[in-house]
Structure 1
């Protein structure tokens, strides 16, 4: 028969010892799930697609734009505006996390985007240059929490020490059935939610899961950008030479 002090000590050991055991397991599960989410997003060797963009401001006024996106692996990405005429040829190039470039045809020059400018919005959209370049969350963030709700994993992502990111943290949701990313919540340094990205119209194309509709909302400004993807093609044999400053400046035909 245990004495009361011993029984209470045993209870504390089981309680806190058990929690100490469970927490790393939960962290490991969250890390593994984030890795799977990243792998689904970058499962293809390369991808090309057209994007129809609609930007809506607080008054309801809209701007429509057409873009072309090319991507190879998780590192190389190029986005170019096709229409309307006033933005035709404007381009964005990601070569690495710290090598981002913007091309403005009116000035006929490529400008490297400084790290200090990564939190600026890209061409009046609700996507910052940092958002445009993000592809592998595990490179910059550690998954700290894991819960499951309504068929989706919920992960709290905390920046890794030294990570060149401007958000205090992210909260992401992904489907438990296929690890497709469905929502990203963005929090500023004051831990206030400032933006929300939702991904819908999920389709499996040539064996790859793809969200064909993306909606980024800036909560403080009541401003949103919607992207509709079409003509999505995978594994077209793009080469590294397709993602250079020279190609960024190439006239659109």
Structure 2
């Protein structure tokens, strides 16, 4: 485990340096952020779109084997909620599986999530302990499908670090309500030029490192900076998950009806 942890930490340091060299840097803010919440607010402000459509390829490497899954993902923000719909296309044993998530801006409201399993025509709401469950045999949990709103967490700016040609702001985010979460806190490294995370460390409630996310392949698409790759390394098992994001399109005018719970069975 120590060797694995050291490898992840070394890889993370290399990623911080290489990522900034792999993308053309956008202009930095003239005024540095005053605190951790301001860093997180600038991250939120990067995506100015109303909706997004993309294809996600998931590669899970475990026990010398690779499990591949392909899905289509749609998301839209309106009326104080972000709605996300994921539809699995391949392989055939998961084709037709759908996840629908409602992420509310109001921190007093619990997010909603449903999964539809076509094999037995079952529509199930995921809540409570179900949020802490593993997502489709990957190194993600169901709760990772939810978008954390700024007011869901507290934010503390710990330090800044060089990131090759730019700098990273390291922010500690703690959940205000962790009753449905595996996590106690997250450390987020945010690039100070394009204001996107390059690395996130997830710690459990005993402050043990659970997993590390590394983001790369940054591109400016329709004037919006976004990542096209995410690598997830688990500290609890010998496993690695890669997510590849392709065919990314913003502001497609997605219909509200697309995100109706009643449409999941169709």
Q: TM-score range by the shorter chain?
A: 0.7 to 0.9
Conserved? CA contact 1:69–1:79, under 8 Å: yes
User: How far, CA to CA, are the matches of 1:163 and 1:115 in structure 2?
Assistant: 8
* 3-state DSSP of counterpart to 2:242: strand
After superposition, the CA RMSD in angstroms is 1.9
Conserved? CA contact 2:129–2:180, under 8 Å: no
User: How far, CA to CA, are the matches of 1:89 and 1:218 in structure 2?
Assistant: 27
Q: Could you say which residue in structure 2 is the equivalent of 1:95? A: 102
Pick from 216, 227, 230: which aligns with 1:211? 227
* 3-state DSSP of counterpart to 2:44: helix
User: How far, CA to CA, are the matches of 1:134 and 1:233 in structure 2?
Assistant: 19
Shift of 1:163: 6.8
Does the alignment pair 1:82 with 2:89? yes
Pick from 152, 155, 159: which aligns with 1:147? 159
Conserved? CA contact 1:147–1:154, under 8 Å: yes
User: How far, CA to CA, are the matches of 2:178 and 2:188 in structure 1?
Assistant: 21
Conserved? CA contact 1:140–1:163, under 8 Å: no
Shift of 1:135: 4.3
Q: Could you say which residue in structure 2 is the equivalent of 1:245? A: 261
Q: Could you say which residue in structure 2 is the equivalent of 1:185? A: 201
* 3-state DSSP of counterpart to 1:86: coil
Does the alignment pair 1:45 with 2:57? no
Conserved? CA contact 1:75–1:135, under 8 Å: no
Shift of 1:214: 0.8
User: How far, CA to CA, are the matches of 1:104 and 1:230 in structure 2?
Assistant: 25
Shift of 1:132: 0.8
Q: Could you say which residue in structure 2 is the equivalent of 1:67? A: 71
Q: Following TM superposition, where does structure 1 have runs of at least 4 consecutive aligned residues deviating by more than 6 angstroms?
A: none
Following superposition of structure 1 onto structure 2, how do residues 157-236 of structure 1 map, counting pairs within 5 Å? 157-160=173-176, 164-236=180-252
TM-score of the aligned structures, taking structure 2 as reference length: 0.79
Structure 2: which 5+ runs fail to align? 1-31, 104-109
Shift of 1:109: 2.2
User: How far, CA to CA, are the matches of 1:107 and 1:140 in structure 2?
Assistant: 35
* 3-state DSSP of counterpart to 1:85: coil
User: How far, CA to CA, are the matches of 1:164 and 1:120 in structure 2?
Assistant: 10
Cα deviation 1:186-238 (Å, max 9, x = unaligned): 00011011111111000000011110001111112021211111111000011
Q: State how many pairs are aligned.
A: 222
Following superposition of structure 1 onto structure 2, how do residues 104-123 of structure 1 map, counting pairs within 5 Å? 104-123=117-136
Shift of 1:159: 1.7
Conserved? CA contact 2:35–2:156, under 8 Å: no
Shift of 1:134: 2.2
Higher Rg of the two aligned structures: 1
Q: Could you say which residue in structure 1 is the equivalent of 2:36? A: 30
